[in-house]
Structure 1
């Protein structure tokens, strides 16, 4: 029949034809590789298990409940040396989280600031930031930890000569400081409101800075330190102030206005000082040391939650919810109408009102007038004030009777230690500072690259509509730069969490250091390292989950 074609019979493939197929060969090679790896791994694991069994050290996790004598220097109050390995390991996890969580916050803040300074038009800020980044990111972290610990922290004053803030005793607060605030705040607000295109704005700002520097310098160098051989430094001080102000305004459009402003400010301040217009007296309040720093660590007040803390937190949560509603509603209005609303200020005020209102409402609740205390081995009912005078109240009862939601106690020295205080050990301080400074150098470069990735047209458009430099950075540049910054920023967060394991070098009791001691005492090296690896893996997964969620939030939504 016309148009009829006979179909060819299907080709019968032989084993040889399969073996000549490249895809089949790749699959066979992959299967063979997996089998070989499994066999080798099984032989290694089997040999390891046989060796451990011969020494009666077969891997298991029952050792975690064993009780051994185990002291930890960074342990909380609830931990004792008689606790099990499980509690000891939990202490290590808590210490690691203390370093990582605080370190992530401070390294982010420092890295963002330095990253912005890297692009500053001011030569001094830009150069110092570049030197900071290039030096710190090229020095090994372990070396920096040793420097912070052995060179800086351990070189601090001894316990008897602690650095105190504020100084203990009578503090002298000059009246001129109040005058600086009364005159300076309105003056700089006025100067800030002037148009950036007006030369007078730069003249006013430079004059204000120069007047403040010369006025305070005259008091310090002539009156407060008179007769101590420092009068000759006055000329040098004035020259340094001129150079410093010029450096601050370096690269600005009208350099001559800076020169005139510096001259005017110095003349006005010098004249006022010479005529005795600036007050020389001051307030003399009695102060107690709040923060103490020595080679044994950093000591600051202890903050404890009282029995009324939960009631106060209800007001704080309510204020936070109101702030969130205000934030979302204002954002919607701005998006629909284009009208700018200071939603951050309104949200802050909502939270502040909740905090303050809750504090007063809870504080006005009447406290019990009597309490049961132990006296001479018997339980007696006594007036609260009488029991307090006779020091019969326990710390728990003091917290129960306190009218405020939080109880703040100042450090009190007893012998060679401080009580009623929170102490950060030298090991913690050195590790935290090293991690923060080291990681911030990398974050600064990420921020710089992210800002430069924003098209220059965005910056020019912001200037065209009259936005200030701060508004441009906050509203235009950083929101777009975050799309580039967040992915590598997550890598640096992971690096910080894993680099915290270097704490073992200076004896800080983190997860790795505590686990190493547990392994040495129990002999369960395999089980111990499995727990350590799983812990750090969990930390990394949590950080990755959070950063991926944030990254998804800032990415552009496309089809």
Structure 2
């Protein structure tokens, strides 16, 4: 007996009607809004609970301490005032003190990111080099740095290296004006010329901003580049406002030039070499992940190993390692708070002094957490922007 034939609904090929798509988008938006509201509700509940706990103990949550005079000095730090930039003073506010500490953190973190990237890439390439000595030396350096706590390395760089340099009167003087002593490292620098005009200074600043925009933006790159070069040329025509200064030892002090404190140098060295070890392993893993056939094809085409690295390996490796680099950069920025161990006046160190002076440890730590959060988000945004540009171009050229 034949079975009755049943009719199946026509296949839609996976296509959704406009009504279904709209419904799904609405459900997705509702879910996202519900998650955001739940997170905000948890934060609000926590804040109200903390406030109620403080009120029971007669403590009010007040951010007015930021306007109070700090009452202490910072070994190095700058503040912005109405007539320019000057060194931090004890009669400045706590907000100025925290800002000066944040600038110190930003200064050491940005330099360490650049130097650790260069050193880490070199060590990573050395780990896969054909030369046995280079490969073993790179392996030893990376393993030593990776398996030693950062705090111990920081103490080593400060007490066993920087503070063992000669005194200022017997300091090592290198070609070009560099002076290395236990009082700090002094480098040739740039300063505003005494007879510089305001127009030349503003033209130079505008030219630098335009050139930076040309490097970051692709749409108006050539226009920004031309405008930036024109602004720099105008600055030269009006009298270039910058002059080169060379550090000169006069008694127990060094005048002119760029000075780096011992604490800054030790923290910079510690952050650089420690992060470079992890970056080296990221680079090594990315290089070894490349198909061996690409090396063989490059050799068959007569390409040298240097050319292979430049034209074949690096464009592919950086597309893979850049997100991992971003994680290391964020970790470096947060690890800079260990500078308190050697007395570097970074944000966390200054916060400790402010909290002790004002008694507002909770309010202060909230400010510090937000500052580190902004710093981490900024690093992540820069890395993501660079990653999108590299992916869009198909690699590093």
Same-fold status (TM-score > 0.5): yes
> Corresponding residue for 1:50?
55
> Corresponding residue for 1:429?
265
Return the match for 2:303 from 467, 475, 488: 467
Shift of residue 545, structure 1, vs aligned partner = 1.6
Question: Does 2:189 correspond to 1:298?
Answer: no
Question: Does 2:75 correspond to 1:70?
Answer: no
Residues 124, 282 of structure 2: 8 Å contact kept: yes
Residues 166, 172 of structure 2: 8 Å contact kept: yes
Residues 157, 294 of structure 1: 8 Å contact kept: yes
Question: Does 2:122 correspond to 1:101?
Answer: no
Gaps of 5+ in 2: 5-37, 79-85
> Corresponding residue for 1:507?
343
Question: In the aligned structure 2, how far is the partner of 1:549 from the partner of 1:38?
Answer: 30
Shift of residue 41, structure 1, vs aligned partner = 5.0
Residues 77, 103 of structure 2: 8 Å contact kept: no
State the Cα RMSD in Å: 3.6
CA distance change for structure 1 residues 309 and 466 in 2, over 3 Å: closer, same or farther? Answer: farther
Q: Secondary structure at the match of 2:173?
A: strand
| Matching of residues 395-406 of structure 1 within 5 Å | 403-406=239-242
Q: TM-score, structure 2 length as denominator?
A: 0.77
Question: In the aligned structure 2, how far is the partner of 1:322 from the partner of 1:523?
Answer: 47
Question: Does 2:203 correspond to 1:311?
Answer: yes
> Corresponding residue for 2:35?
none
> Corresponding residue for 2:101?
92
Question: In the aligned structure 1, how far is the partner of 2:208 from the partner of 2:258?
Answer: 24
Residues 73, 88 of structure 2: 8 Å contact kept: no
Question: In the aligned structure 1, how far is the partner of 2:376 from the partner of 2:215?
Answer: 32
Return the match for 2:312 from 447, 472, 476: 476
Quick check: 313-322 or 518-527, which moved more? 313-322
Question: Does 2:363 correspond to 1:545?
Answer: no
CA distance change for structure 1 residues 484 and 354 in 2, over 3 Å: closer, same or farther? Answer: same
Question: In the aligned structure 1, how far is the partner of 2:345 from the partner of 2:131?
Answer: 43
Deviations 1:399-446 (A, max 9, x none): xxxx43311222233332112232100000000000000000000000
Question: In the aligned structure 2, how far is the partner of 1:42 from the partner of 1:407?
Answer: 52
Shift of residue 110, structure 1, vs aligned partner = 0.3
Residues 291, 301 of structure 1: 8 Å contact kept: yes
Residues 115, 448 of structure 1: 8 Å contact kept: yes
- Between structure 1 and structure 2, the one with the greater Rg is 1
Question: In the aligned structure 1, how far is the partner of 2:211 from the partner of 2:155?
Answer: 45
Question: In the aligned structure 2, how far is the partner of 1:498 from the partner of 1:321?
Answer: 28
Q: Secondary structure at the match of 2:180?
A: strand
> Corresponding residue for 1:413?
249
Residues 51, 61 of structure 2: 8 Å contact kept: no
Question: In the aligned structure 2, how far is the partner of 1:89 from the partner of 1:299?
Answer: 26
Q: TM-score, structure 1 length as denominator?
A: 0.55
Quick check: 501-510 or 415-424, which moved more? 415-424
How many positions carry a matched residue from both structures?
342
